[in-house]
């Protein structure tokens, strides 16, 4: 099997998050670790300060009888969230990150299932935390100054609980619940060694410098953002700035001037649409954009720096210092990939799951492509099993980043972990250059009567090439005769449809309008059907009035379609 032969960068080995934090504080004491908006000012927090406050917080938590216990953290991305994570895993117990978008009853359920003893939370999560069992100690983040003051006093008085806290790199230190896009929540047990291995392996092939800065936007409870957009930067002596949210993204780019942006495809697509819209408002703007893209493509290899100068205004919108974009959690379309490359940015795509800490496959500084998700990270083995006639099989991986198992769920653990191999549930194709391409999920795969297999993601990709389709979900539908048909639930781009209908547009609540929408969407589906073999053709169309429900990383939840709430063809 061909492997990536890119020579690894010299990086320091760490076996735990505690070792990562301690060594970064020693190596980069005066570097800025975190930046946050404080009123109208930007507050910079150094590595030495964050390390001192991490020890103080851990010491105070231990004084509350929490050493060795599970402690949840929930809330918006912040320095307090990051400090909570570092303090708990380095000197106290097990961290349990909760999704701040969960409903109160869901937070209460996870708190009970995980057996947490305390929960650290920001104000925006107070309502959810109120539903948690009263026996759980509630620790509002707004009281951090008090916690730190008391922790410092304990340290000054000789408290050595932080220094003496035993850290077993291979024991469970992180318990994170994930449901992905299907199924009930499962508690993934990760060790500090899992995370440390993943960080070191990725940074052997993707250079991160002390001068780099990222803008923390994706939720930190998600392992992808926590590892790639927080701990990897902390390892490298780089800085992490906290965004105030998606609505403030443009301002935050200008304010913090990040060099690397960790994103999911939907965010990159939205930003690209905004850029194209601004070009469209200029005289001959679309022609200018296409000309710039062509010039950028010509200069890409001969003079890469010229691409940035060609798209000066675009790069200013990113803060002026952006050099790279990392996309994960879902597939990035080739069109969007190439657009960001044309702006002069390096684009990396990776693949992984919470169960693999999370990165398994990734592009590197030598290679990237819009058609695959790169090579296995160093130290990880990957293979495909149960290959079909098209060379597609289930991706299975083995390495030090694979989880310990599912919390209190040995049956599910045994189902996905076999002889050290983790069965990802994702379908992939192995390419001749040693990379892998993800083709879909086994659970979403459609099997028709002939035995042929259809990957919904392929049809969804084609559907969403239409300007009239905003989102889609393809699935197998059992027809009246018992056969399985390919169906598509589609949320139209109503704005584009209204533009198409123009002055003849019927009232939006009228049957005539719904009929016009169905006509336009049907044409879009027919265009897709012309591109695929007969057995893959979409036979049933459902038009949605509202967007699909999504996870916090903006992936559509593949739940059972509720026909009563949707318009059927």
Lookup: tokens for 548: 């699909």
Task: Give 128-165 pLDDT, tens digit per residue.
Answer: 999 999 999 999 999 999 999 999 999 999 999 999 99
Which is nearest to 26 in space by CA: 44, 12, 47? 47
β-sheet bridge partners, residue 550: 556
Query: What is the torsion angle, in degrees rounded to the nearest 10, for the CA atoms of residue 260, residue 266, residue 272 and residue 278?
Result: -120
Tell which wins on pLDDT, 415 or 178. 415
Lookup: tokens for 362: 């990734």
Determine the Cα–Cα distance for residues 190 and 212; give it in Å rounded to an integer: 27
Write the DSSP assignment of 400-425 as a string of letters. TTS-SEETT-HHHHHHHEETTEEEEE
Res 536: pLDDT: 86
Task: Give 293-351 pLDDT, tens digit per residue.
Answer: 888 887 776 666 677 888 889 999 999 999 999 998 878 889 999 999 999 999 999 99
Which is nearest to 140 in space by CA: 45, 74, 83? 74
| Residue 568 predicted with pLDDT over 50 | no
Strands 538-543 and 484-492: parallel
| Residue 2 predicted with pLDDT over 60 | no
| Residue 282 predicted with pLDDT over 80 | yes
Task: Give 218-253 pLDDT, tens digit per residue.
Answer: 999 999 999 999 999 999 999 999 998 888 999 999
Q: C-alpha distances in angstroms, 83 versus 52, 55, 146?
A: 10, 10, 14
User: How many Cβ atoms are within 10 Å of 370's Cβ, its own excluded?
Assistant: 16
Lookup: tokens for 252: 């935050």
Determine the Cα–Cα distance for residues 126 and 435; give it in Å rounded to an integer: 45
Task: Give 63-80 pLDDT, tens digit per residue.
Answer: 999 999 999 999 999 999
| Residue 24 predicted with pLDDT over 70 | yes
Task: Give 105-130 pLDDT, tens digit per residue.
Answer: 889 999 999 999 999 999 999 999 99
| Residue 442 predicted with pLDDT over 60 | yes
Determine the Cα–Cα distance for residues 447 and 390; give it in Å rounded to an integer: 14
Report yes or no on whether pTM surpasses 0.85: no
Res 503: pLDDT: 82
| Residue 446 predicted with pLDDT over 90 | no
Helix (H) or strand (E) holding 341: helix 334-342
Strands 392-398 and 381-385: antiparallel
Q: Is-contact 524 463, C-beta < 8 A?
A: yes
Tell which wins on pLDDT, 321 or 564. 321
**3-class DSSP state for residue 318?**
coil
Res 321: pLDDT: 95
Section 35-49 average pLDDT: 94
Tell which wins on pLDDT, 564 or 79. 79
Determine the Cα–Cα distance for residues 426 and 329; give it in Å rounded to an integer: 13
Helix (H) or strand (E) holding 484: strand 484-492
Own/partner long-range contacts of 438-445 (Cβ < 8 Å, ≥24 apart): 438/331, 438/351, 438/373, 438/395, 439/392, 441/181, 441/182, 441/558, 442/394, 443/182, 443/558, 444/182, 444/475, 444/558
Q: Which residues have a Cβ under 8 Å from the Cβ of 357 and sit 6 or more positions away?
A: 190, 194, 195, 197, 198, 223, 227, 401, 402, 403
Unique residue bearing structure tokens 């800065």? 213
Can the peptide bond before residue 358 be classed as cis, meaning omega within 30 degrees of 0?
yes
What is the chain's mean pLDDT, rounded?
90
Res 532: pLDDT: 82
Res 141: pLDDT: 98
Q: Which residues have a Cβ under 8 Å from the Cβ of 10 and sit 6 or more positions away?
A: none
Tell which wins on pLDDT, 7 or 465. 465
Res 183: pLDDT: 42
List b or e across 64-85, with b for residues whose CB sees 16 or more CB atoms inside 10 angstroms: bebbebbbbbbbbbbbbbbbbb
Task: Give 200-212 pLDDT, tens digit per residue.
Answer: 999 999 999 999 9
DSSP 8-state assignment for residue 33: E
| Residue 564 predicted with pLDDT over 50 | no
Own/partner long-range contacts of 133-142 (Cβ < 8 Å, ≥24 apart): 133/108, 136/111, 137/64, 137/66, 141/75, 141/78, 141/80, 141/81, 141/84
* 49-53, 166-170, 528-532: least confidently modelled range: 528-532
Section 559-563 average pLDDT: 52
Tell which wins on pLDDT, 557 or 126. 126
List b or e across 447-458, with b for residues whose CB sees 16 or more CB atoms inside 10 angstroms: eeeeeebbbbbb
Q: Is-contact 442 425, C-beta < 8 A?
A: yes
Determine the Cα–Cα distance for residues 175 and 370; give it in Å rounded to an integer: 33
Q: Where are the beta strands (DSSP E) in 354-465?
A: 359-362, 375-376, 381-385, 392-398, 405-406, 417-418, 421-430, 436-441, 446-447, 453-454
Unique residue bearing structure tokens 């449809």? 497
Please provide the distance, in angstroms rounded to a whole number, between the alpha carbons at the two ends of the chain.
48
Q: C-alpha distances in angstroms, 76 versus 122, 187, 217, 228?
A: 7, 21, 9, 17
Determine the Cα–Cα distance for residues 298 and 40; give it in Å rounded to an integer: 43
* Domains with residue ranges and CATH for the chain: 447-568 (3.30.300.30)
Q: What is the CA radius of gyration of the chain?
A: 25
Confidence grade of residue 566 (pLDDT, cut at 50, 70, 90): very low
| Residue 379 predicted with pLDDT over 80 | yes
| Residue 453 predicted with pLDDT over 90 | no
């Amino acid at each position: 099997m061909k492997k990536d032969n890119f020579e690894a960068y010299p990086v320091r080995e760490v076996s735990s998050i505690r070792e990562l934090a301690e060594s970064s504080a020693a190596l980069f004491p005066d570097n800025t670790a975190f930046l946050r908006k404080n009123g109208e000012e930007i507050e910079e927090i150094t590595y030495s300060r964050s390390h001192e406050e991490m020890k103080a917080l851990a010491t105070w938590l231990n004084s509350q009888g929490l050493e060795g216990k599970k402690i949840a953290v929930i809330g918006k991305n912040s320095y307090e969230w990051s400090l909570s994570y570092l303090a708990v895993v380095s000197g106290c117990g097990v961290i349990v990150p909760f999704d701040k978008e969960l409903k109160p009853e869901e937070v209460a359920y996870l708190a009970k299932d995980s057996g947490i003893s305390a929960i650290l939370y920001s104000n925006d999560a107070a309502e959810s935390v109120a539903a948690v069992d009263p026996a759980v100690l509630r620790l509002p983040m707004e009281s951090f100054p008090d916690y730190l003051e008391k922790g410092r006093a304990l340290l000054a008085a000789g408290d050595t609980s932080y220094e003496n806290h035993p850290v077993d790199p291979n024991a469970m230190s992180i318990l994170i619940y994930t449901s992905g896009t299907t199924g009930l929540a499962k508690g993934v047990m990760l060790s500090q060694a899992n995370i440390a291995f993943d960080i070191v392996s990725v940074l052997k092939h993707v250079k991160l410098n002390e001068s780099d800065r990222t803008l923390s936007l994706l939720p930190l409870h998600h392992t992808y953002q926590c590892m790639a957009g927080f701990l990897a930067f902390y390892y490298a002596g780089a800085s992490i700035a906290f965004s105030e949210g998606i609505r403030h993204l443009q301002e935050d780019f200008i304010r913090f001037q990040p060099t690397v942006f960790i994103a999911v495809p939907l965010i990159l697509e939205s930003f690209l649409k905004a850029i194209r819209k601004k070009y469209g408002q200029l005289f001959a703007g679309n022609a200018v954009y296409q000309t710039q893209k062509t010039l950028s493509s010509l200069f890409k290899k001969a003079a890469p720096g010229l691409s940035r100068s060609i798209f000066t205004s675009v790069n200013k919108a990113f803060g002026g210092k952006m050099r790279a974009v990392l996309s994960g959690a879902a597939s990035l379309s080739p069109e969007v990939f190439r657009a960001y490359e044309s702006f002069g940015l390096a684009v990396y795509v990776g693949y992984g799951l919470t169960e693999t800490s999370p990165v398994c496959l990734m592009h590197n500084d030598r290679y990237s492509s819009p058609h695959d998700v790169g090579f296995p990270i160093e130290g990880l083995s990957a293979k495909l099993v149960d290959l079909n006639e098209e060379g597609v099989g289930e991706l299975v991986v083995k390495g030090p980043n694979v989880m310990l198992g599912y919390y209190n769920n040995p049956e599910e653990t045994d189902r996905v972990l076999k002889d050290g191999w983790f069965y990802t549930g994702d379908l992939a194709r192995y390419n001749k250059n040693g990379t892998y391409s993800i083709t879909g999920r086994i659970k979403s795969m459609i099997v028709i009567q002939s035995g042929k297999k259809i990957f919904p993601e392929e049809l969804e990709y084609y559907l969403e090439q239409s300007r009239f389709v905003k989102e889609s979900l393809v699935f197998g539908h059992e027809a009246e005769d018992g056969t399985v048909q390919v169906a598509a639930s589609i949320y139209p781009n109503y704005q584009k449809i209204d533009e198409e209908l123009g002055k003849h547009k019927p009232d939006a609540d009228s049957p005539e309008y719904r009929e016009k929408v169905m006509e336009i969407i049907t044409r879009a589906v027919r265009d897709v059907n012309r591109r695929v073999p007969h057995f893959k053709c979409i036979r049933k169309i459902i038009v949605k009035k509202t967007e699909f429900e999504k996870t916090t990383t903006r992936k559509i939840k593949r739940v059972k379609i509720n026909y009563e709430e949707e318009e059927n063809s």
